[in-house]
Amino acid sequence: MRCDEKSGRDELRICPGSSRRAVIRRMAWWEMTEAVMTGGRMPESAARQQFALLLQSWKKRSGRSYQALGRRLELSHSTVHRFCTGKQLPQDAALVDRLAAALGADRQEAEILRGVWRLALAVPLGRPERGHDSGAGATAGSAAGGASGSAAEGAAEEAPHDDLPRDIADFTGRAEELGTLLKAGGTPSGVWTVDGMAGVGKTTLVLHAAHQLKEGYPDGRIFLDLHGHTAGVAPMPAADALKALLGAAGVPEEGIPAEPGRRASLWRSALARRRMLIVLDNAVDAEQVLPLLPGATPSLMMITSRARLVDLDGTGTITLAELSAEDALAMFMKIADAGPPADLGDAEETVRLCGYLPLAIRIATARLRHRLSWTPGHLNDKLRQEHRRLAELHAGSRSVIAAFATSYGKLAGPARRMFRLLGLIPGVDVDLAGAAALTGQPVEDAEAVLEQLIQAHLLQRPSADRYRFHDLVRDYARAVLTEQEPEEQRQEALGRIVEHYLRVADHAAELIEPSRRPNPPSGTNPAAAPAVRLADRREAVAWLERELPNLIAAVECAAAGGLLVQTWQLARSLWHFFLLRGDTRDWIHTHRLALDAVQALGDREGEAETLKNLGVAYWLSDDREGAIALHHQALVLDCWNGDPVGQAKTLTHLGFVHHRSGEYAVAADHFLLAVMLYREVGDPVGGNRGLSGLGDSLRRMGRAERAMPYLMEALSLSQSAADPWGEIQARTGVALAYLEAGEAGLACRHLVRALELSRLLGDRLSESTVRTALGAVWLEVGDAGMARRHFTRALTLSRQSGDRWGQTEASAGLKAAGTRQR
């Protein structure tokens, strides 16, 4: 049977036996012919489907398969299939003409095909609009279905590629980072990298974002593990990754070029007009990823890596840290799926011991779920043991140790050594100079290696020149240190870092107390200069405040490591700073360690120095008897050693102890002997402090006429010796003497200057004493309000410093001020 087809639709006759599908196909043909040949327009949303309908009809007519057409056109058969199903448009008119010729179209048909193609170009490549294109899609699908061979060839490609792993139902937190990725999904194109330490939840975040974004990427969703840090698996070469990506994009294996450069070009071409979502997980470095980046495309690519991919220009970057305490607890509760535990504090401690690291929290909750008799408190008992904590954090194939081990295994030799030795950091962090000292490297070389550890997220940099470990990473560093670093080298490294702290602390102590006797030489290179040069007293105080936790830890590590000389000398270097701050708890702790060390050494001079410095801490802690006993032991050793300066210092300390106990006559005797010894050895700084104590003791005894000359001499000596601490003591004594003489104005003048000096020095102990005296002055002149302000501040400072005597004096002043106000 044949159909007689005229040039107009109204003359179209349907032959008996013609199918409904054939009629629809013919009607579509004439619609296109009219629109294109007469210069009219057809709905743009239908143009792409009509273009596909023409190709499908002509393909059936030609009898050629997609493979045969691909060979004729020098294209892959999947590309030809996308043309014929409307998923992709040819990029230029020349290719449209070649396509028409391969399908056996005549000149008029080729002209119509070009016209429809031009209309279709105006339609963005993506999912057809619902309700508007559904009929056209059905027409194209029906045309394809009418050709039995075409239906079989295209069935596998009808659904877009989607191999995203499942989303995590218990995803928690990361609101800001998730919002950034979701916002990126609304832009025309983009590449985002998400980096962070092992186990921090990079893949979880990206997959959670991908599942929320997937509906906006109808041309396919690809997930590819690049095996950058997979145990026992080498990172995927870029060429292999390109082959996998091209295959996922529909390019048949035989159509993928062998050369990596041509594969990268074909990959960019494949994405040029397609809207796909690509997740590249677990990249090892920028070199692996660079060839995989798309060109101009509406697609979105998200890349995860433990390394910071700093060489990828023009990409957005998100760096994940551990969870906040609140989000970590919420995650624990959600995964445990058993509601709040009996003791919420146990759960809070569990996530803290897990370092707020998502992987560790997941493992911990998995262990709890599979050990029904365990509670968070039971697990915490195990996690508190630092040497066992990492071993406890494993469940099935998941292990925190394994996660860290793959990151460590990627490091070069110098970076591995730096990582191991940083496990010896005495405190919570270290500066650049300390890290260089630890490894015995020049600062410039150490900085370059530290940067490698930061890029690998095995080390954190909280500020420009500070480095620290995550708690669990520190545990791992100490584990590999013990396993891989010989004992002798570990001991040498510990000696270097402790010696570094000792030299800089000694340098700082000299700036704070210029008159102090330097520490005896220690270490293998006693002439070496400190690695950190401090310009003045203010810088010295700032350095000591910043490094104090590390310095205390260094004393502890030196004591534990048998570095006895460094133990007592480092503690001695801190004693005057402890005096300024009044921190008696750390003061007593470090000096007890120092005393054990110096006694083990048999160093009598060092023992005498340590005893008297420890005795002052006891005195400020209100342990009068302990303070006196320690100073008497020191005085015996000073005499045994024939050390007049040591004797004078001990006598001065004993004078202050008796003075605060109200034993002014006994105090005056000790001060007088100290002044005589200081004068014999020509020590004006020590002398002015003894004179201040002597003058104030005489004042307290009611001998103001004898007290004032000593106090004024102390003030003169402290000024000529540029001793601000001694000047504060002298001015305070002079002011109180003037106050007793009824000269409140002169007293106030001296106390204001003493207050300026104490605040300049950061001396809480002295500031508390001066403010108590100022309160007394204002009380004397009748201004109870001003007096109360100074007494209140004095009480606060004395509480901060742990000065019990100062608290008593300030409290008494407050009580008196309150009585006056009433």
Task: Give 494-521 as a DSSP string.
Answer: HHHHHHHHHHHHHHHHHHH-TTSPPPPP
DSSP 534-589: --SHHHHHHHHHHHHHHHHHHHHHHHHTT-HHHHHHHHHHHHHHHHHHT-HHHHHH
Q: How many CB atoms lie within 10 A of CB 147?
A: 18
**pLDDT for 216:** 87
Q: What angle do CA 227, 232, 235 make, to 5 degrees?
A: 30
With 90 as the cut, is the pLDDT of residue 48 above it? no
Most confident of 92-101, 161-170, 390-399, 609-618: 609-618
pLDDT at residue 436, rounded to an integer: 93
| CA angle (638 as vertex; 716, 697 as ends), nearest 5 | 40
What's the CA angle centered on 761, arms 755 and 765, to 5 degrees?
65
For the segment 507-526, the average pLDDT, to the nearest whole number, is 76
- The predicted-structure confidence for 321-363, as pLDDT tens digits, reads as follows 999 999 999 888 888 765 445 577 888 888 999 999 999 998 8
Q: What is the pLDDT of residue 704?
A: 83
Look over the chain and give the mean of its residue pLDDT values, rounded to a whole number: 83
Amino acid identity at 16: P
Kindly give the interhelix angle for 400-409 and 358-370, rounded to the nearest 10 degrees: 150
How many Å apart are CA 322 and CA 509, to the nearest integer? 38
- Give the pLDDT score at 53: 84
Contact 284, 307 (CB under 8 A): yes
Tokens linked to 537: 């007293």
Q: How many CB atoms lie within 10 A of CB 13?
A: 9
Structure confidence at residue 522 as a pLDDT band (50, 70, 90): low
Decide if 727 contacts 715 (C-beta within 8 A).
yes
Render pLDDT for 189-202 as a digit per residue (tens, 0 to 9): 689 999 999 999 99
Q: Provide the pLDDT for residue 416.
A: 94
Per-residue pLDDT reduced to its tens digit, 115-169: 788 777 654 444 433 333 333 333 333 333 333 333 334 434 457 889 999 998 8
Instruction: Provide long-range contacts, Cβ within 8 A and 24+ apart, for 513-518.
Output: 513/576, 513/725, 514/685, 514/722, 514/723, 515/683, 515/685, 515/686, 515/721, 515/723, 516/576, 517/645
Query: Which of the four pLDDT bands, split at 50, 70 and 90, describes residue 397?
Result: confident
* pLDDT score for 258: 87
pLDDT: is 316 or 375 the higher one?
Answer: 316
- pLDDT (average), residues 776-785: 90
Give the HSE-up count for residue 64: Cα atoms under 13 Å, Cβ half-sphere: 23
Q: Which residue reads 């940083």 in tokens?
A: 422
Q: Would you say the C-alpha torsion 325, 327, 329, 331 has a positive or negative sign?
A: negative
Phi, psi of 227 (to 5 degrees): 55, 40
Number of H helices, E strands in the chain: 38, 10
Residue 310 main-chain phi, psi, to 5 deg:
-70, -15
* Cβ-based neighbour number of residue 538 at 10 Å: 14
* Separation of alpha carbons 614 and 618, rounded Å: 6
Residues 133, 137, 140: CA angle, nearest 5 degrees: 140
Residue 36 neighbours by CB under 8 Å, 6+ apart? 111, 112, 115, 116
At 2, the pLDDT band (50, 70, 90 cuts) reads: very low
- Report how far residue 797's alpha carbon sits from residue 581's, in angstroms, rounded to the nearest whole number: 9
What is the percentage of the chain residues whose pLDDT exceeds 90? 48
Looking only at the bridges linking them, the beta strands covering 398-399 and 394-395 are: antiparallel
Under 8 Å CB-to-CB from 221, ≥6 apart: which residues? 160, 161, 162, 163, 164, 210, 214, 276, 277, 278, 279
Tracing tokens 């962090």 back to the chain, one arrives at: 429
DSSP assignment letter at 440: T
Q: Is 742 helix (H, G, I), strand (E, B) or coil?
A: coil
DSSP 195: E
pLDDT at 524: 53
For residues 486-508, give the mean pLDDT: 93
The sign of the dihedral angle between the CA atoms of 263, 268, 270, 276 is positive
Cα gap 810→801, rounded to integer Å: 13
Banded pLDDT at 11 (limits 50, 70, 90): very low
Strands (E), 218-361: 221-225, 277-283, 300-305, 316-320
Query: Distance between CA atoms of 773 and 32, rounded to whole angstroms?
Result: 102
Question: pLDDT class for 21, splitting at 50, 70, 90?
Answer: very low
Q: Please compute, for residue 229, the number of CA atoms within 13 A of its CA located in the half-sphere on the CB side.
A: 29
- Whether 578 has a pLDDT exceeding 80, the answer reads yes
Residues 755 and 774: their CA atoms lie apart, in Å, by: 9
When comparing pLDDT for 378 and 538, which is higher?
538
Position with higher pLDDT, 280 vs 109: 280
More confident residue, 151 or 60: 60
Residues 589 and 337: their CA atoms lie apart, in Å, by 45
